[in-house]
Amino acid sequence: MRPGRRRPAWRGLWPPALALVLTAGCAGDGRRLERALLSGRDSAAHAADRDEHYIVHCPDVLEVRTTGQPGECPVGADGRIPLADGGRLRADGLTAAEIAGSAARRLGLPPEQVSVAVAGYNSQQIYLFGQVAGVQRAVTYEGPETVADLLRRVGGVAPGAAAGDVQVLRSHVADGRSPELFHVDLEAILLKNDLRTNVLLEPFDQVYVGQSRKSSLTDALPPWLQPLYERITGIGRKEAPDR
């Protein structure tokens, strides 16, 4: 450039503008996965199936329905709940159906007159990291469900999620076994109905959703360009759904 001549202002804009163009395409893949996830929301029957296999622990809260029963009953530190006869019934380590059967026998009632359901899932969690809807967080474990089911329950994935970079870490701290790492192919699960990697989750699993390579380029964008980028691509992060 000749001395005294000013460099055109637009030249300083091309690096972030180029990054914006390159990353715009990644939003489409993430939105496609998100639509596929949310179009298959859990049915009431599926939720009931999870409850059937959920193992109760302290400090879960149970709703016990029978004559004279106090209603919602927290599982105490002793692993028991109060009953209408003034005693306490063991609940820790049992399913709701098993607790209902024990309560009916204890109270001398027909099984059909006693029902137990989990009103508060307080004892077990699953940990979410990476490109998930909302923020990285712990969510309640509510019984056996697949990775895809869990991501549906929490509101989906971020538009910049990498379909081929989803992993589940199972630490096995409680049982002293070696950790396991599972690879999950969300694209195959959702778009090709290939369920081989749709891992059935266990309490305290860690689920990591990676970021697509194109989406990671957005980190290079200056703050002033972020609003424009979000308007163009719709890739802004969604808030976690209210539950």
In this predicted model, what pLDDT tens digit does every residue of 60-71 receive, in sequence order? 999 998 876 668
Angle in degrees, CA 19, 25, 30, rounded to 5: 120
Q: What pLDDT does 225 receive?
A: 53
Which residues 6+ apart lie within 8 Å of 208 measured at CB?
A: 129, 130, 166, 167, 168, 169
- 3-state DSSP assignment of residue 227: helix
Sheet with 161-170, side-by-side order of all strands: 137-140, 125-130, 206-211, 161-170, 180-184
Class level of CATH domain 55-120: alpha beta
In the chain, where are the structural domains located?
Answer: 30-45+123-233, 55-120
Q: Could you check whether 30-45+123-233 and 55-120 share the same CATH topology?
A: no
Q: What superfamily in CATH does domain 30-45+123-233 come from?
A: Outer membrane lipoprotein wza domain like (3.10.560.10)
In this predicted model, what pLDDT tens digit does every residue of 188-236 receive, in sequence order? 998 888 999 999 999 999 999 988 765 444 455 555 555 555 555 554 5
